[in-house]
Chain A
Amino acid sequence: MSENIIEVRNLTYTYSQNNQPTLKNLNLDIIKESWTSILGHNGSGKSTLVRLLTGLKEPDSNSQAQIKINGIAASEEKWFDIRNDLGIVFQNPDNQFVGATVEDDIAFGLENRNIDPDEIEKRIKEVLDFVNMSEFRKMEPSKLSGGQKQRVAIAGILAIRPKVIILDEATSMLDPQGRNQIHQVIQEIKAKYQVTVISVTHDIEEATKADDICVLSDGQLVKQGTPKEVLIDENWLTEMGLMLPFAKQLAVELRQHAIDVPRDILDESELVEYFWKLNSKM
């Protein structure tokens, strides 16, 4: 049995100007040290969930909501401790820098935690090497590209050694290269640090790379499982207001031309293999 790093029970949240709750009795477990992708169309409740998971908003007071993160049950007094284990990368790379240079920005979080200057120096070097941004150490963050900014943001978070990193639409404003760089970094984080990565996204390609996917719709968790399990049914995905991964889009079209692409093909490499075999039989 895998252990859960986050457990959410009966989570209900209603915005003050709305009659209907945005999250309705949501239950959710996130597996420890997994890369979990949270998918859902605009308005499904993804962003609201992030705000509740980070204590930026409180569940409806009349609900039986429980949030447990890394073994600590969330309560007003505990959020300070819980947040020590959490790091968030936001959508807009321009909204999260405080330092005048890349290294200052990373040092900020560490200095706030009263970490020893030698240790700060060590960690800055380590995390910048890790995200491949060492040569930009003395640069102004505003001079970097979107993908570079998000890598610095991730480095700043890794430096404080969190248990959970939440990427809140962190790749949605990046170009394809920037996006791939971040996906690469996430894979490497998992290999090197004992950390759980939660990426809240509407990029279905990103989700295909995750270990586990949670699909939200109308404020509830409607499906959870591996990419192969969750993304197999293209009609259901469309119903959920989600796009199909590229390989599946193509497969759906090709089936209409009597090319019988297997339904469990999710990524492009598998599809390339499939055509290669088909071609060599001709």
Chain B
Amino acid sequence: MEIKFENVSYIYSQGTELQKYGLSDINFKIKSKSFTAVVGHTGSGKSTLIHQINALLKPSKGNIHIGNEFLINQETTGKGLKPLRQKVGMVFQFPENQLFEETVLKDIMFGPLNFGFSKKEAEASAYYWLDQVGLDQSLAEKSPFELSGGQMRRVAIAGVMASHPEVLILDEPTAGLDPVGQKEILSLFKEYQRQGHTVVLVSHDMDIVANYSDEVLVLEEGQLLRQSTPHDLFQEADWLASHSLNQPKVTEFAQRLVAKGIKFDSMPITMAELVKVLAQKFGGKLAKDG
């Protein structure tokens, strides 16, 4: 589903002395079935922005279109939000804090049941996603509170995926997971995109942005500074530095090589790109699938 923001502003505590712009006059379009990363510092408006996409917060001004079906603006009321929220699933930061059911299975089934799946469908979906997030079926009847932190995170993610949202919004979904677990979970989201869903990911980890996203939105103090591909964005070391943003590790490493006189036509942003350039320059023979 395409997501379109038209002149969207969000004002916190409007009409009081504490009034503050959370977002000011934001315009952008996210293509259907794309993987878009939202980056920016704490307080830049990232969370405010994604919370508008399933109308947890309604824009103070402007319109948000989700596909052809939904329009969110100041007039949007609570009515009719359920179909929107079925289509737009959201994984919050530290979603494990929201587990509440007696068993893992019941917790994952809660969303689908709430959105009108039959009990049988909800259960099938729950088991499917339990497996997809890398948890053993034997955990289904356990209390979610007996699990480790990493397992709880996976249960919470399965609970959102089990309703099959068309748009998946992720707020730092892998913060605090170990690196191997992080990779597994991100690959799962990437695969979900490949199956034809739209993914929006908030992250401050530029390696994740470089490796998984097709497009990046950069926010600062409630303003959209730019929208571009990660490749274009990460070429601009000076611009990024002037906004206190990092480059991916690979790109930083390549910069250090540039400083030592090794030339790159364009700066690599993923390990594969870096390896390719170095192999061409210094490699004895290229591996077959290079």
Contact = CB atoms under 8 A, between A and B. Distances in A.
B80 interface: no
A42 B260 contact: no
Nearest to A205: B249
A43 B180 CA distance: 12
A187 interface: no
Contact of A259 (B176, B278, B290): B278
Contact of B42 (A41, A145, A276): A145
A279 B277 CA distance: 13
Given A258-B285, A268-B256, A175 B178 contact: no
B249 A279 contact: no
A176 B207 CA distance: 10
A175 B202 CA distance: 13
A257 B286 contact: yes
Interface in B91-150: 146, 148-150
B146 A17 contact: yes
Given A42-B149, A272-B260, A257 B283 contact: yes
B150 A43 contact: yes
B261 interface: yes
Contacts of A91: 176
Contact of A42 (B181, B249, B253, B262): B181
B179 A173 contact: no
A249 B183 CA distance: 15
B56 interface: no
B240 interface: no
A246 interface: yes
A181 to B, nearest CB: 13
B257 A253 contact: no
A241 interface: yes
A241 to B, nearest CB: 5
Given A42-B150, A275-B282, A175 B253 contact: no
B216 to A, nearest CB: 16
B153 to A, nearest CB: 10
A249 B205 CA distance: 18
Nearest to B283: A257
B42 to A, nearest CB: 6
Contacts, number: 96
A204 B180 CA distance: 11
A145 B278 CA distance: 37
Given A257-B275, A259-B279, A275-B257, A172 B262 contact: no
Interface string B244-285: 101001000100110011100000000100110011011111
A235 B249 CA distance: 22
Contacts of B274: 250
B178 A42 contact: yes
B175 interface: yes
B172 to A, nearest CB: 9
Contacts of B178: 41-42, 202, 241
A234 interface: no
Given A42-B148, A177-B246, A258-B285, A241 B180 contact: yes
Contacts of B188: none
Nearest to B145: A17
A43 B150 CA distance: 8
Interface of A: 17, 41-43, 91, 145-146, 169, 172-173, 175-177, 202-204, 241-243, 246, 249-250, 253-254, 256-259, 268, 271-272, 275-276, 278-280, 282
Given A145-B42, A176-B249, A241-B180, 6 more contacts: A42-B149, A202-B178, A257-B275, A258-B283, A259-B284, A272-B256
30 contacts: A41-B178, A41-B181, A42-B148, A42-B149, A42-B178, A42-B181, A91-B176, A172-B176, A173-B175, A176-B205, A176-B206, A176-B246, A177-B244, A202-B178, A241-B178, A242-B180, A249-B271, A250-B271, A250-B274, A257-B279, A257-B284, A259-B278, A259-B279, A259-B282, A268-B256, A276-B260, A278-B282, A279-B260, A279-B262, A279-B282
